[in-house]
Structure 1
Amino acid sequence: MNNINHETKITASELASLWMQYENDSLSRCILLYFINHAKDENIREVLQYALELAENHLEKVKQFLTQENYPIPIGFTNEDVTVEAPPLFTDTYMIVYLQIMAIHGMTRYSGAVSISIREDQRQYFIKCSYETMELYNRATNILLHKGIISKPPTLNNKQKIDFVKEQTFLRGWFGKRRPINAVEISAAYLNMQKTLMKIVLELGFSQVARSTEVRDYMERGRKLCEKHFNILTSMLEEDNLHAPRTFESEVTDSTVPPFSDKL
């Protein structure tokens, strides 16, 4: 077995993972450069810098893979899509919240990339990306905890008994007569609420600085949809006297100078 040299072409699934990573990390690079230029808190700036180093390393690695396979390099996002000198649009608090949520998305994306990769070099690369992103999540979460920014999910009392689902009506959840929300549902709802809150602020900021009326309206539409979803999930928690995560709309400044292109 050790003497077999079986070189295989990169698969469509592996190519898709590399291509999407290049698009995502080229976008992240633009946002991180802008954030770093305005971050006042040294601890937050250090985590942002770590994230930027990861993104730039990933971009170079993807270029190597695609060049070796004779594929073109994606256009992605470039320095033309960011004006780092533009006035700050978000506070340091939002910057670290944004980074933590994007790390959550990254962990999901990279585990998915590993699961569809066959070639060993691709598997090893995305496994390494997974570890790096877990470290990024860890660093960002530590900052959020230390500064008292993060909202912890609700806790449940431990005086409950084991029970079993006896009727299919349990699957109806909150339709008709509502039953108490369970821990699995609380976990999913709370994580979705945290992601949604990050999006609300991002869309609020982008709608404030977008040059195109079409883009501005699109961002505003997205913000209203997110607020609707957030309110629905909040009502589910509040019915069982559980708290919702804190909001961050106040972390948008009053700047109207576009730091990013409408393309971004």
Structure 2
Amino acid sequence: MLDKKNLRLTSSEIAVVWSSYQNNSFSICILKYFLGNVDDPEIKSVLQFALDISVQNFNLSKDILQNDNQPLPIGFTDEDVRPDAPRLFSDSSYLYYIKNMSKVGLSVYGVALATSAHTDVRKFLSQAIQTSTELYNKTAEVLLSKGLFVRSPYVTTSDHVDTVDKKSYLEGVLNLNNNRPLNVVEITHIEANVETNSVGRALMTGFAQVAKSKKVRNYCLKGKEIANKHVQVFTTLLTDDDITSPMPWDLEVTDSTVSPFSDKLIMFHSSLIIASSISNYATATAASLRTDIQASYVRLTTEVAQFAKDGLDIMIKNAWLEQPPQIPNHKGLAKRPL
């Protein structure tokens, strides 16, 4: 029989554990700073729970990589954060941040579990899904208790089940004779993207104030503009059908110009926000039946992808972009000089 403990990690397993190590080292820095200035005891409890999860996931990722003799990523350390820096975001902002990050965790860990065979990796991912779920529920309860939870719009739906019997259903506003209103699936994704872009806009606003490099500041300002534009696009889709667009509120950014984070961490954080947006837009495109909505997502995704490339250029120039584990260049080795 095979010794399961001695099985090597597959490429997909290395990828998810390597990324988890990096992402949790980053999260630890972020959460230490948040905990350094939060006032509300309920929100502080959620942040502490989130930090405990990140530390746990970081240590488990480290153990799995070391047991497979994989080199550890550089990641982020105490040098990338100043927990004693002045407050940059409001307590409510922390809740919206944790809500969105726990959603990302559920998605990433869930997809990774379905591609993993190694017992230790599956155990780690299953536990990560469980704790991410618990974190989301804790955050949701606090948001609800404070009247801050952003609910999807309430709508009136038809009183009978029907099927699509005309191609014009797919055309929406592109068909002037039909002008089919949004369905609840399309509304769900539009509303979710309003919320995530609103949170992203607040983060980029704060980062632009405190970044040390002028290029990083300008990059964050551009990110703020893009997020604001995308909020307007999605809000218009809702209001055109007389649906009120729910918005997170109290996403306050203070006037502090003292950076709690290294520029490297700010750029890494920006890249995570962008990757999450591209993933959200891809899912929304596939779920939306109206072709005009699909076209909007494709157009916005192209804009975000170009913005992502600009960010990678900055990271590469400053040696901030860590290369994921890579296979040997067999062709290059075969062509080496004799």
Partners of 1:176 and 1:27 in 2: how far apart?
47
Equivalent AA in structure 1 for residue 49 of structure 2: Y
Q: For residue 24 of structure 2, what is the aligned residue in structure 1?
A: 25
Q: Cα RMSD between the aligned structures?
A: 1.5
DSSP 3-state at the match of 2:236: helix
User: Given the two structures, how large is their TM-score scaled by the length of structure 2?
Assistant: 0.75
Partners of 1:249 and 1:209 in 2: how far apart?
20
Q: For residue 95 of structure 1, what is the aligned residue in structure 2?
A: 94
Equivalent AA in structure 2 for residue 115 of structure 1: A
Equivalent AA in structure 2 for residue 10 of structure 1: L
Deviation at 1:250, TM superposition (A): 5.1
Q: For residue 171 of structure 1, what is the aligned residue in structure 2?
A: 170
8 A contact 1:201–1:249 mirrored in 2: no
DSSP 3-state at the match of 1:74: coil
- Please give the residue correspondences for 1:79-158 in structure 2 after superposition, counting only pairs within 5 Å: 79-158=78-157
CA displacement 1:193-219 (0-9 Å, x = unmatched): 111111010001001111111001111
Deviation at 1:160, TM superposition (A): 3.2
8 A contact 1:180–1:240 mirrored in 2: yes
Partners of 2:249 and 2:208 in 1: how far apart?
16
Structure 1 residues 71 and 124: alpha-carbon distance in aligned structure 2, compared to 1, 3 A threshold = same
Partners of 1:230 and 1:123 in 2: how far apart?
37
Deviation at 1:101, TM superposition (A): 0.7
1:214 aligned onto 2:212: no
- Please give the residue correspondences for 1:169-248 in structure 2 after superposition, counting only pairs within 5 Å: 169-177=168-176, 178-248=179-249
Q: For residue 274 of structure 2, what is the aligned residue in structure 1?
A: none
34-43 vs 160-169, greater mean Cα deviation? 160-169
Structure 1 residues 98 and 61: alpha-carbon distance in aligned structure 2, compared to 1, 3 A threshold = same
97-106 vs 172-181, greater mean Cα deviation? 172-181
Partners of 2:110 and 2:251 in 1: how far apart?
34
Equivalent AA in structure 1 for residue 105 of structure 2: G
217-226 vs 40-49, greater mean Cα deviation? 217-226
CA displacement 1:78-131 (0-9 Å, x = unmatched): 111101111000010101110111101111011011011111221121011001
User: Percent same amino acid at aligned positions?
Assistant: 37
Deviation at 1:163, TM superposition (A): 2.2
Partners of 2:173 and 2:20 in 1: how far apart?
38
Unpaired segments ≥5 residues, structure 1: none
- Please give the residue correspondences for 1:26-105 in structure 2 after superposition, counting only pairs within 5 Å: 26-105=25-104
Q: For residue 262 of structure 1, what is the aligned residue in structure 2?
A: 263
Deviation at 1:159, TM superposition (A): 4.6
8 A contact 1:39–1:92 mirrored in 2: yes
Runs ≥4 residues deviating over 4 A: 247-250
DSSP 3-state at the match of 2:13: helix
8 A contact 1:107–1:133 mirrored in 2: yes
DSSP 3-state at the match of 2:83: coil
Q: For residue 16 of structure 1, what is the aligned residue in structure 2?
A: 15
User: Given the two structures, how large is their TM-score scaled by the length of structure 1?
Assistant: 0.95
Query: Aligned to 1:5, which of 3, 6, 19?
Result: 3
Structure 1 residues 248 and 210: alpha-carbon distance in aligned structure 2, compared to 1, 3 A threshold = farther
8 A contact 2:209–2:217 mirrored in 1: yes
Partners of 1:259 and 1:97 in 2: how far apart?
19
Partners of 1:199 and 1:250 in 2: how far apart?
10
8 A contact 1:23–1:74 mirrored in 2: yes
8 A contact 2:92–2:250 mirrored in 1: no
Deviation at 1:133, TM superposition (A): 0.1
Q: Which structure ranks higher in relative contact order (CA pairs < 8 Å, sequence separation ≥ 6)?
A: 1
Partners of 2:134 and 2:250 in 1: how far apart?
27
Deviation at 1:176, TM superposition (A): 4.1
Equivalent AA in structure 2 for residue 5 of structure 1: D
Deviation at 1:166, TM superposition (A): 1.5
8 A contact 1:201–1:248 mirrored in 2: no
Deviation at 1:4, TM superposition (A): 5.3
8 A contact 1:96–1:140 mirrored in 2: yes
Deviation at 1:18, TM superposition (A): 0.5
DSSP 3-state at the match of 1:73: coil
Equivalent AA in structure 1 for residue 3 of structure 2: N
Partners of 2:262 and 2:174 in 1: how far apart?
43
